[in-house]
C-alpha cells in the first residue's frame, strides 16, 4: 500500500529503488555453537573477514581526498585501530576456540562486552565511542556474510536507517548506494554536509519510516523536498521521472557554470578560491574556474611518511601547485600539525594533556625552527614560479606573526645569496581561528597582508566545543550569535584596513551558508572543489544589496532557530 513520509531534505537528488532497512544496532544473533571439527574453519572465516575489513578501511582511506581526507580519515583511522585491538581479536578467537561459539555469536558477545565497558566510562567522549565499536563490528559481520544473497553492500539500493556516520558515507557511496533515509539527524550535521559533497540524496528526520518500510519495498526519495514514498503509484512515478529530468538539466547547467563569473544578481563579483591538498584537487580547482587556491594544507605532506619531507620534496609539491594554477594566486598554509593532526614522525608532542589547546600550528613551527626553516625555504623557492602567498595557522599573538615575518625575510636573503629566484612579493597572511586573534585583529593588522578565517577551529574555540567530539554536535555550528558577531567584526576590520579576507572553513563550502556570509560582508570564499559550482550557483542567485540590508535582522537573531529562520527567508526571497 502506498505511504508517504516527510522529513527534511538534507542532500538534493532523487532516487527510485528497493529499500535496504538497517535497524538501530541491535545485532540480534542468537546463541550458535559449532562442532569441534569446525573450529579451525570458523577461525579462518573470522580472520578472512578481519583481513577484508582491514583492506576495506585502507581502501576507503586511500580514496579520500581534500577536505574528506581530513574529516572522515580520522574516523577510519580510529576504526582501523579498534580492529587491531588485541582485546577484541584475542577475545573473539577465545570465544570460538574455547567456547565453540560461531563467529557471528562471538562477535555479538564481544560487542556487548565492549559496549558495557564504554557505557560505564565517566567521560562522555569515550562513551560516545561505543558507536565506533558498533560500526567496526557491523563491518566484520557484513564481511562474514559477503557473497550470501542480500548481504554486505547496498549497491543500487536505498538505505533506510536511524542515523548514518560521516565515515560510513564514503563507503556507502563507493558501494553504489542510491540514496539514504534516516529517522534522526539534522540538515546541518556533519553527515548531511558530507552527503551533499558526495552527491548522495539524503532525507533526514523521516520520523516513522523504520516502522513502515521493509527490506525490498520500492521507494521514491526526493532529497530536495525531504519526501519518501513507499510503493509509489503511477502519479508518483511520473513525478519522479519529471524530477529526474529537471535534476539532470540542473546538473548540466551547473557544469556550464565552470566558465561563468561568480557574480551576484546585482553585479558584484565574489572570489571563489579552492581548498586543496593534492594534485587532483589542484587540477579540479583549475578546471572549475577557481580564482586561485585559498588554502593548500601542507600537513598532509607530513602525515604520509615516518619522517618530515625534505626541502626538495616540499619545494616540488608547492611549485607544482603554483604551476597547476597557471598564474592564479596560490595560498599555501604552513604546517598545521598538532591536536587531531598528529604526525608519524614525532614532530608533535606526545601525550599532550589537552591537544586542541596545545602546541599546534604556528606554535609548533616556531618551537621546531629546524623544520620550519626548511618549509620556508621550499615555499620561497616555489614563489619563483608564480604568485604564491604564505598563510600561518593558529595565530594568537602579534609576536608570532613578527617572528614568522622575520624568518621569511632572512630566508629570502639567504636563498637569493645562493642564486635562487624568489618573488619580490610573497604576501604573508594569518588564519583567524583563535578568538584572541579575532578580537585583537586591529593590533595584528600591520603584521599581515591578508587574512583567512578558519571557521572550523574558530567555532570550536569560541564555543569551547571540541570539533572531534560527536556528543557536542549541536554546539559545533557556526549558527551562534557569537560566531556571527566575530565574523562580522573580523570582516569589517579587514575592510577598514584594506586587507583581503576569506573564509576557508567548511562553512564556506556549503551553499546554505552563502546568503549569511554575503550579508556579513564576505567577498572571498575558499572551499573544496566538490561544491564550488553549487556555491557559485548560490551566489549568482543572491542580491547582495538586499542581503546586506537584512544584515541587521541577522545580527539581532538570538539563537540558532532564529538564524535558521533568517537563512530560510533569505533563501526563498533573493
Supply the residues annotated as catalytic: 190, 504
Q: Which residue is nearest to Mg ion (CB)?
A: 457
User: What is the number of H-type helices and E-type strands within the chain?
Assistant: 25, 16
Cα 181 from Cα 227, distance rounded (Å): 9
Q: Quick check: 505 binds ligand PEP (CB under 6 A)?
A: yes
DSSP 11-62: E--EEEEEEEEE-SS-------B--GGGHHHHHHHHHHHHHHHHHHHHHHHH
Q: Quick check: 543 binds ligand PEP (CB under 6 A)?
A: no
Q: Quick check: 554 binds ligand PEP (CB under 6 A)?
A: no
CB 423 within 8 A of CB 400: no
Which one of Mg ion, ligand PEP, none interacts with residue 505, CB within 5 to 8 A by kind?
ligand PEP
Q: Quick check: 348 binds ligand PEP (CB under 6 A)?
A: no
* Binder among 42, 400, 403, 457 for Mg ion (CB under 5 A): 457
CB of 455 to ligand PEP, least distance (A): 5
DSSP 276-292: ESSHHHHHHHHHTT-SE
CB 225 within 8 A of CB 204: no
CB of 187 to ligand PEP, least distance (A): 20
CB of 504 to Mg ion, least distance (A): 9
CB closer to ligand PEP, 230 vs 438: 438
CB 555 within 8 A of CB 484: yes
Cα 422 from Cα 408, distance rounded (Å): 11
CB of 395 to ligand PEP, least distance (A): 12
Q: Quick check: 455 binds ligand PEP (CB under 6 A)?
A: yes
- Show contacts with ligand PEP in window 297-336 (CB under 6 A): 297, 336
* Binder among 185, 338, 355, 454 for Mg ion (CB under 5 A): 454
Q: Quick check: 504 binds ligand PEP (CB under 6 A)?
A: yes
Q: Give the cell for residue 111.
A: 560487542
Interface segment toward ligand PEP; rule CB under 6 A; list 7-15, 259-267, 343-351, 452-460: 452-460
Which one of Mg ion, ligand PEP, none interacts with residue 7, CB within 5 to 8 A by kind?
none
CB 304 within 8 A of CB 342: no
CB closer to ligand PEP, 379 vs 508: 508
CB 227 within 8 A of CB 21: no
Q: Quick check: 197 binds ligand PEP (CB under 6 A)?
A: no
CB of 330 to Mg ion, least distance (A): 19
Cα 337 from Cα 297, distance rounded (Å): 10
Interface segment toward ligand PEP; rule CB under 6 A; list 106-114, 134-142, 403-411, 449-457: 449-457
* Binder among 454, 478, 500, 509 for ligand PEP (CB under 6 A): 454
Which one of Mg ion, ligand PEP, none interacts with residue 455, CB within 5 to 8 A by kind?
ligand PEP
Query: Residue 303 forms beta bridges with which residues?
Result: none
CB 66 within 8 A of CB 277: yes
* Binder among 14, 183, 447, 456 for ligand PEP (CB under 6 A): 456
Name the packing angle between helices 311-324 and 279-287 (round to 10°): 10
- Show contacts with ligand PEP in window 423-442 (CB under 6 A): 433
- Show contacts with Mg ion in window 416-435 (CB under 5 A): 433
**Residue 200: partners with Cβ closer than 8 Å, 6 or more residues away:** 11, 13, 169, 172, 173, 177, 179, 180
CB of 443 to ligand PEP, least distance (A): 21
Cα 379 from Cα 311, distance rounded (Å): 9
Closest by CA to 536, choosing from 259, 297, 327, 279, is: 259
Which one of Mg ion, ligand PEP, none interacts with residue 504, CB within 5 to 8 A by kind?
ligand PEP
Q: Give the cell for residue 115.
A: 559496549
Residues in contact with ligand PEP by CB under 6 A are 295, 297, 336, 433, 454-457, 504-505
Residues in contact with Mg ion by CB under 5 A are 433, 454, 457
Amino acid at each position: 500500500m502506498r505511504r508517504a513520509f516527510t522529513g527534511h531534505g538534507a542532500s538534493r537528488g532523487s532516487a527510485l529503488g528497493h529499500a535496504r532497512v538497517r535497524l538501530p544496532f541491535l545485532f540480534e544473533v542468537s546463541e550458535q555453537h559449532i562442532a569441534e571439527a569446525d573450529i579451525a574453519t570458523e577461525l579462518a572465516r573470522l580472520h578472512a573477514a578481519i583481513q577484508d575489513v582491514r583492506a576495506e578501511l585502507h581502501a576507503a582511506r586511500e580514496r579520500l581526498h581534500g577536505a574528506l581526507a581530513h574529516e572522515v580519515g580520522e574516523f577510519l583511522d580510529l576504526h582501523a585501530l579498534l580492529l587491531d585491538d588485541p582485546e577484541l581479536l584475542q577475545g573473539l578467537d577465545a570465544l570460538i576456540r574455547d567456547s565453540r561459539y560461531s563467529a557471528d555469536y562471538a562477535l555479538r558477545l564481544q560487542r556487548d562486552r565492549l559496549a558495557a565497558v564504554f557505557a560505564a566510562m565517566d567521560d562522555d567522549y569515550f562513551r560516545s565511542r561505543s558507536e565506533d565499536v558498533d560500526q567496526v563490528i557491523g563491518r566484520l559481520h557484513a564481511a562474514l556474510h559477503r557473497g550470501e544473497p542480500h548481504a554486505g553492500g547496498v549497491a543500487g539500493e536505498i538505505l533506510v536507517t536511524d542515523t548514518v556516520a560521516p565515515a560510513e558515507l564514503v563507503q556507502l557511496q563507493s558501494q553504489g548506494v542510491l540514496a539514504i533515509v534516516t529517522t534522526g539527524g539534522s540538515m546541518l550535521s556533519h553527515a548531511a554536509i558530507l552527503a551533499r559533497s558526495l552527491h548522495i540524496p539524503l532525507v533526514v528526520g523521516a520520523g516513522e519510516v523504520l516502522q513502515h518500510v521493509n527490506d525490498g519495498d520500492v521507494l521514491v526519495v526526493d532529497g530536495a523536498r525531504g519526501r519518501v514514498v513507499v510503493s509509489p503509484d503511477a502519479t508518483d512515478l511520473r513525478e519522479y521521472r519529471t524530477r529526474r529530468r529537471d535534476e539532470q538539466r540542473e546538473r548540466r547547467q551547473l557544469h556550464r557554470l565552470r566558465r561563468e563569473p561568480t557574480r551576484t544578481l546585482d553585479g558584484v563579483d565574489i572570489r571563489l578560491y579552492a581548498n586543496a591538498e593534492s594534485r587532483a584537487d589542484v587540477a579540479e580547482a583549475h578546471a572549475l574556474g577557481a580564482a586561485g587556491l585559498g588554502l593548500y594544507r601542507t600537513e598532509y605532506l607530513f602525515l604520509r611518511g615516518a619522517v618530515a619531507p625534505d626541502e626538495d620534496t616540499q619545494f616540488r609539491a608547492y611549485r607544482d601547485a603554483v604551476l597547476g594554477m597557471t598564474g592564479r594566486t596560490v595560498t599555501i598554509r604552513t604546517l598545521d600539525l598538532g591536536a587531531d593532526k598528529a604526525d608519524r614522525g614525532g614532530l608533535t608532542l606526545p601525550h599532550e594533556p589537552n591537544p586542541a589547546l596545545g602546541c599546534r600550528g604556528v606554535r609548533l613551527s616556531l618551537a621546531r625552527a629546524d623544520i620550519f626553516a626548511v618549509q620556508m625555504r621550499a615555499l620561497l623557492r616555489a614563489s619563483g614560479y608564480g604568485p604564491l602567498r604564505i598563510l600561518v595557522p593558529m595565530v594568537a599573538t602579534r609576536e608570532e606573526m613578527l617572528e614568522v615575518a622575520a624568518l621569511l625575510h632572512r630566508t629570502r636573503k639567504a636563498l637569493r645569496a645562493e642564486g635562487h629566484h624568489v618573488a619580490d612579493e610573497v604576501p604573508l597572511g594569518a588564519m583567524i581561528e583563535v578568538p584572541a586573534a579575532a578580537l585583537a585583529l586591529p593590533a595584528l593588522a600591520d603584521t599581515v597582508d591578508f587574512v583567512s578565517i578558519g571557521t572550523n577551529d574558530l567555532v570550536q574555540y569560541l564555543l569551547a566545543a571540541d570539533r572531534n567530539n560527536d556528543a557536542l554536535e549541536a554546539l559545533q555550528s557556526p549558527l551562534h550569535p557569537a560566531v556571527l558577531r566575530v565574523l562580522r567584526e573580523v570582516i569589517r576590520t579587514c575592510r577598514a584596513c584594506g586587507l583581503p579576507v576569506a573564509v576557508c572553513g567548511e562553512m564556506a563550502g556549503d551553499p546554505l551558508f552563502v546568503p549569511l556570509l554575503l550579508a556579513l560582508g564576505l567577498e572571498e570564499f575558499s572551499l573544496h572543489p566538490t561544491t564550488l559550482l553549487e556555491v557559485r550557483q548560490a551566489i549568482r542567485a543572491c542580491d547582495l544589496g538586499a542581503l546586506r540590508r537584512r544584515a541587521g535582522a541577522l545580527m539581532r537573531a538570538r539563537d540558532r532557530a532564529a538564524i535558521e529562520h533568517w537563512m530560510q527567508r533569505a533563501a526563498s526571497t533573493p
